[in-house]
């Protein structure tokens, strides 16, 4: 059932078994997994079926502290308050995390998940159907090098059209859209009932045209994204200072992205060289990464590399190209690049760019907090403090150097040129992938995180978190496929819990 909170009649209090906040990939996956289960599910979505500039303005950051070139707009661009969430405009890149992404690595502070890759594998398999992907081919170690070849698959799933059709006929799922959850209300317990489990009693909801109503649910799932999840928790904690479980110091901490940089290096490739190039990326993107043995030897985080044609640089308007060259490189390097761009191809081969996407280390200096300023919904706006730190930048530099060394072993028909040599200049231009992770991190206890291995918030028996905000680390893979796998796992657990009651 579809309900437009702006125009449709809504009860003052809605009672449901499960309330999901957010209709992006995580929220829709959980709701669809509970369809036809006999469990009443209410999904609350702040936006509608189209992007809202009003919501964008209301929930833009009030402040940003960073050394990077990005502005506050970066965060609103990658926080889509609409049905389908960020997947409405995503590029569809999908890949599972690797087994080592889940283990503790002593050279990466706060690394290690309380769940293994093996435990997630059945859910990764189920995610293929949702994302309309083929079963991934095995990665291949390349002889005589420390390189491994792999790929990203490209999903065409956007979590909107088929979802809308399904909702119209669903008997147990109601999507209420154009409705913003302002805060969670904890269940008040009597002072003499010390052993009563902590619970969320209600969600308070407001609309652009002034409507207010509440939802009371047996279970609450926050699936509002890497910024939306911590924001709701922080705002709710501020309103209920005596509710101890929400006073968790890790909420909003350890924000992570995937550092991206192009070109990290250039490589001349003879047409006869045995190299995978990302020419046609409509269904998959070939990538390379360093072997685990080499990374552990050099204490490196995860990174992947794809080799791209440089034609886009030659086709770029000269004004844009010059701005890129002069802001990213010193004059000597920029001049070399101008000559290369002017002569990209000949009958023997052509120049290509090396694109790196990397892992960012969890760091409590990267933090999302509340600002004093409030928006039109009388909800606090947010503040972000985020940078790539020395370990992140060092990881990119050393990984790229090692990759080029190993790439040269593939064939004598390659010529490589390393560009990341001026950290002060290039570090400000390292971008992210719009992948907001880590702000309600998963851990076995409250000493290092917010939720347990199942996604249940520590100390609150009916509050669960879904999405990339629970990632303790992010590897190099785009987060969507892991979000889907974790969401399917959480839905299965809830289905079993509610079946026994």
Report in angstroms the alpha-carbon separations of 40 from 2, 327, 422, 464. Answer: 14, 55, 57, 17
- The reply to whether 249 and 262 lie within a common domain is no
Q: What is the CATH number of the domain that holds 10?
A: 3.50.50.60
Q: Are residues 29 and 87 in the same domain?
A: yes
Tell me the mean pLDDT in the region 258-272.
88
Q: Are residues 179 and 264 in the same domain?
A: no
Query: Could you report the per-residue pLDDT of 272-286, keeping only the tens digit for each?
Result: 988 888 887 888 999
3 state DSSP class of 48:
coil
Residue ranges of alpha helices (H) inside 63-199 are 73-77, 117-131, 161-169
Range in 41-45, 303-307, 398-402, 424-428 with the lowest mean pLDDT: 424-428
Q: Is 410 found in the same domain as 440?
A: no
- Cβ within 8 Å of residue 11, ≥6 positions away: 213
Residue 353 phi/psi, 5-degree rounding, is -100, 150
Query: Do 319 and 211 sit in the same domain of this protein?
Result: no
Structure tokens at 477: 């893979």
- Report pLDDT for 89: 79
What is the structure's pLDDT at 99? 96
Mean pLDDT is lowest, of 211-220, 288-297, 410-419, 488-497, for: 410-419
46-100 pLDDT tens trace: 988 888 888 888 888 889 999 888 888 888 888 888 888 888 778 899 999 999 9
Task: Answer yes or no: is pLDDT of 189 > 60.
Answer: no
Question: Do 166 and 236 share a structural domain?
Answer: yes
414 within domain boundaries: yes
CA diameter of the chain: 84
Domain count, the chain: 2
Q: What percent of the chain has pLDDT over 90?
A: 63
Q: Is 128 inside any structural domain?
A: yes
Closest by CA position to 256, among listed 69, 109, 455: 109
Q: What is the residue range of 130's domain?
A: 2-134+156-256+364-387+434-499
């Amino acid at each position: 059932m579809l309900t437009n909170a702006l125009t449709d009649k809504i009860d003052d209090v809605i009672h449901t078994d499960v309330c999901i906040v957010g209709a992006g990939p995580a929220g829709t996956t959980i709701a669809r997994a509970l369809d036809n289960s006999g469990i009443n599910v209410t999904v609350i979505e702040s936006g509608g079926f189209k992007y809202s500039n009003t919501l964008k303005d209301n929930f833009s950051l009030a402040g940003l502290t960073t050394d990077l070139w990005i502005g506050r707009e970066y965060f609103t661009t990658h926080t889509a308050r609409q049905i389908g969430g960020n997947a409405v405009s995503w590029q569809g890149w999908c890949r599972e995390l690797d087994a080592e992404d889940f283990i503790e690595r002593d050279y990466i502070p706060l690394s290690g998940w309380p769940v293994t890759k093996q435990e997630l594998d059945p859910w990764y398999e189920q995610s293929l159907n949702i994302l309309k992907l083929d079963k991934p081919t095995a990665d291949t170690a390349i002889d005589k090098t420390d390189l491994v070849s792999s790929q990203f698959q490209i999903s065409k799933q956007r979590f909107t059209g088929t979802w809308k059709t399904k909702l119209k006929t669903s008997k147990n799922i109601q999507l209420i859209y154009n409705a913003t959850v302002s805060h969670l209300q904890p269940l008040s317990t009597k002072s003499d009932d010390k052993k009563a489990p902590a619970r969320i009693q209600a969600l308070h909801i407001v609309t652009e045209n002034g409507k207010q109503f509440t939802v009371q649910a047996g279970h609450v799932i926050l699936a509002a994204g890497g910024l939306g999840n911590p924001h709701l928790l922080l705002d709710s904690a501020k309103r209920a200072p005596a509710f101890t479980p929400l006073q968790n110091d890790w909420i909003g901490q350890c924000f992570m992205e995937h550092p991206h940089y192009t070109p990290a290096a250039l490589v001349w490739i003879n047409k006869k060289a045995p190299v995978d190039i990302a020419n046609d990326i409509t269904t998959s993107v070939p990538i390379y990464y360093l072997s685990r043995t080499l990374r552990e030897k050099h204490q490196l985080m995860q990174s992947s590399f794809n080799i791209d044609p440089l034609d886009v640089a030659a086709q770029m308007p000269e004004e844009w190209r010059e701005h890129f060259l002069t802001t990213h490189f010193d004059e000597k390097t920029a001049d070399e690049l101008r000559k290369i761009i002017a002569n990209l191809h000949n009958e023997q081969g052509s120049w290509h760019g090396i694109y790196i996407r990397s892992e960012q280390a969890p760091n409590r200096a990267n933090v999302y907090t509340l600002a004093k300023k409030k928006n039109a919904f009388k909800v606090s706006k947010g503040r972000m403090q985020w940078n790539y730190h020395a370990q992140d930048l060092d990881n990119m530099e050393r990984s790229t150097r090692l990759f080029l060394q190993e790439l040269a072993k593939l064939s004598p028909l390659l010529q490589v040129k390393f560009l990341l040599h001026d950290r002060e200049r290039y570090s400000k231009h390292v971008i992210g992938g719009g992948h907001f992770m880590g702000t309600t991190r998963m851990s076995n206890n409250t000493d290092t995180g917010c939720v347990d291995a199942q996604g249940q918030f520590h100390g609150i028996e009916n509050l669960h978190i879904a999405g990339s905000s629970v990632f303790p680390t992010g590897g190099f893979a785009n987060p969507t496929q892991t979000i889907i796998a974790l969401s399917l796992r959480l839905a299965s657990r809830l289905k079993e819990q509610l079946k026994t009651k």
